[in-house]
Amino acid sequence: MRISAFFRMFALLCILLFCAGVNFAHAASSAEIAAQETAAMKTEVDAQIQALLNAPPGVFGVEFEEGQLVRLKIKGESEVSTALQGVRADRQARDNANRDARAAFSRFLNDSVTVVETGTEGFVIQEKDGKETAEFLSASQRTVASLSSSFLRGLIPLVDHVEGEGVNRKAVVILGWSKRLVEASADAQTTMNQSRANEGTPQQAAPAAAPAAGGGAPTGTQTRSGNLQGF
């Protein structure tokens, strides 16, 4: 009887050890698969970022659907000033590159497409076909000017990149624009304004960010990215 009980306990122990080994192997395999998937995603994102950085300055990747502009990307560039020190120089160059990209976007709206207002902050952006009259083009430019804030709401940062040393250091900013974002932003702003009006809360500007500390000459490559999905 004692021998039989011993063998039963020994068999149970073997089963438990086997199950534990199977679970450990499964967990290790899952962790390895997850690590491989993460590495593959990083490689894909890195390739996407590099492709964006290799694009020519200005507007690119323009997409139309059913004759209407739906999305595009913009590349802005700026040299990093050697007169400033530390991260201040990089930050100013990023700001300048952002302004360069926005200026390119404005030129695109005035030179390459026509804009027709369809209602309260509603609009249709179409590619020029060369048959527009001077009066129509003038009206389009007036619409661009009146709806500029609406258009800018559709811009989001995709890549923020600084590289090089000394006089060769430069900042590159890639922005994305889509009509879907313009519409979503307009809806969110309307909801926020209505909520503030109902609560009687005055609209306040966001506090300015504290200036970054200075330092020596900026060096190294710095890249930040986000919002790449859909662009």
| pLDDT tens readout for residues 7-64 | 566 556 566 555 555 455 555 567 777 776 677 777 888 888 999 999 999 999 999 9
Banded model confidence at residue 77, pLDDT cuts 50, 70, 90: very high
- State the Cα–Cα distance between residues 93 and 169, nearest whole angstrom: 10
Q: Does residue 195 register a pLDDT over 60? A: no
Banded model confidence at residue 207, pLDDT cuts 50, 70, 90: very low
- State the Cα–Cα distance between residues 70 and 181, nearest whole angstrom: 10
Q: Does residue 187 register a pLDDT over 60? A: no
Per-residue model confidence (pLDDT) at position 54: 94
Cα dist from 30 to 26, 35, 67, 136, whole Å: 6, 9, 47, 61
Burial of 70 (0-12, 13-18, 19+ CB in 10 A): middle
Q: Which residues pair with 68 in a beta bridge?
A: 65, 126
Predicted structure pTM score: 0.70
- State the Cα–Cα distance between residues 98 and 152, nearest whole angstrom: 12
Q: For residues 12 and 124, which has the higher predicted lDDT (pLDDT)?
A: 124
When mean pLDDT is compared across 84-88, 174-178, 189-193, the lowest value belongs to: 189-193
